[in-house]
Amino acid sequence: MSDLHTIKRRIDSVGDTRKITNAMYLISSAKMRKAKADLDRTRPYFEATRTEIKRIFRSGELPESRYMYPLDENEKPEGTFACLLITGDKGLAGAYNYNVIKKAEELHSYGCPIAWYVVGEYGRHLLTQRGVNIERSFAYTAQNPTMRRAREIGDILLEGFNAGRFAKIYVAYTDMQGMYDEARLTRLIPFHRSQFGYAPGEKPVARPFEYSPSPEKVLQSIMPAYISGFIYSALVDSFCSEQHARMTAMKAANDSAEELIARLRGEYNRLRQAAITQEITEIAAGARARGKEEEQ
């Protein structure tokens, strides 16, 4: 009988855990839908900013700018790299945090010093645990990406780049592509002119654009908006990917819990039936023994 009580308690315990994982699944689903809606509302502005940068490159004479690789492609910028690492604040999201951190560590292959800027408690804890010096840890949570925070991060990184402290700025984040999540390490600046070139089949502009006072000045003025927009998109994409990864992990946990409960219930029913059969056998044996005693 004690085995029956043990199995019953375990069924109840697994059932309570399943309620928690199911609630986390529903919460993550709601958060992801809200974040994607916020990103969809702001994306057109930043797409327009990127379009203006393209127009600058199509204006005829390509401007020289610190935000671009030199015209001589063999002349590579060297120096300290800045990397914005975007992770989550919590676990229970499968391999989400591990994948983006592993992707960011690819920067070590360049052999250059790295200044780490971190969003997310998980990334802060892991880098600190490994003895990695963090240049700046943004205290606010990764669970609430906003445009204001993206501007703050962008201003700090851009200030270091303009001051010559950084040769390149990278962003390590997770991009959500449909139902799949992919960890990315993207060089934010400087960028190649080919990034803003013509798409296949796209026709060049018929008339060159005129910029005042110069294409270089216009490019310099819109770069903060472009960088803030990219960082905001990376923050929201990472947040959506984290929620999607947590939904997947919680669904797997729910499925495993249901399988375990079904197996435990089968075991419970088997033991219960065996106990009932044993009781019936004992009663029948006792009745037969009593009948023999009465006959004698």
pLDDT in tens, 40-51: 777 777 777 777
The residue whose two tokens read 């990278």 is 170
- Confidence at residue 138, expressed as pLDDT on a 0 to 100 scale: 83
In this predicted structure, the answer to whether residue 267 has a pLDDT above a threshold of 70 is: yes
More confident site: 104 or 42? 104
Average pLDDT, the chain: 79
In this predicted structure, the answer to whether residue 84 has a pLDDT above a threshold of 90 is: yes
What is the per-residue pLDDT across 164-220, written as a single tens digit (0 to 9) for each? 899 889 999 988 776 677 888 988 888 776 665 555 555 555 556 676 777 677 777
What is the per-residue pLDDT across 69-80, written as a single tens digit (0 to 9) for each? 765 555 566 788
- Confidence at residue 171, expressed as pLDDT on a 0 to 100 scale: 92
- Confidence at residue 273, expressed as pLDDT on a 0 to 100 scale: 84
pLDDT tier at 1 (50, 70, 90 boundaries)?
Answer: very low
> pTM, whole model, 2 decimals?
0.75
- Confidence at residue 157, expressed as pLDDT on a 0 to 100 scale: 92
Alpha carbon separation from 164 to 77, 82, 137, 193 (Å, rounded): 11, 11, 21, 21
d(CA 149, CA 3): 56
- Strand ranges inside the chain, DSSP E: 81-86, 114-119, 134-138, 168-177, 180-189
More confident site: 216 or 163? 163
Q: Looking at residues 239-252, what average pLDDT do you find?
A: 82
- Confidence at residue 258, expressed as pLDDT on a 0 to 100 scale: 84
In this predicted structure, the answer to whether residue 148 has a pLDDT above a threshold of 80 is: yes
In this predicted structure, the answer to whether residue 103 has a pLDDT above a threshold of 80 is: yes
Q: Looking at residues 231-255, what average pLDDT do you find?
A: 83
- Confidence at residue 58, expressed as pLDDT on a 0 to 100 scale: 63
What is the per-residue pLDDT across 132-144, written as a single tens digit (0 to 9) for each? 888 888 876 667 7
pLDDT tier at 92 (50, 70, 90 boundaries)?
Answer: confident
In this predicted structure, the answer to whether residue 236 has a pLDDT above a threshold of 80 is: yes
- Confidence at residue 261, expressed as pLDDT on a 0 to 100 scale: 85
Here the contacts of 43-48 (C-beta below 8 Å, separation 24 or greater) are: 43/233, 45/229, 46/225, 46/226, 46/229, 46/230, 46/232, 46/233
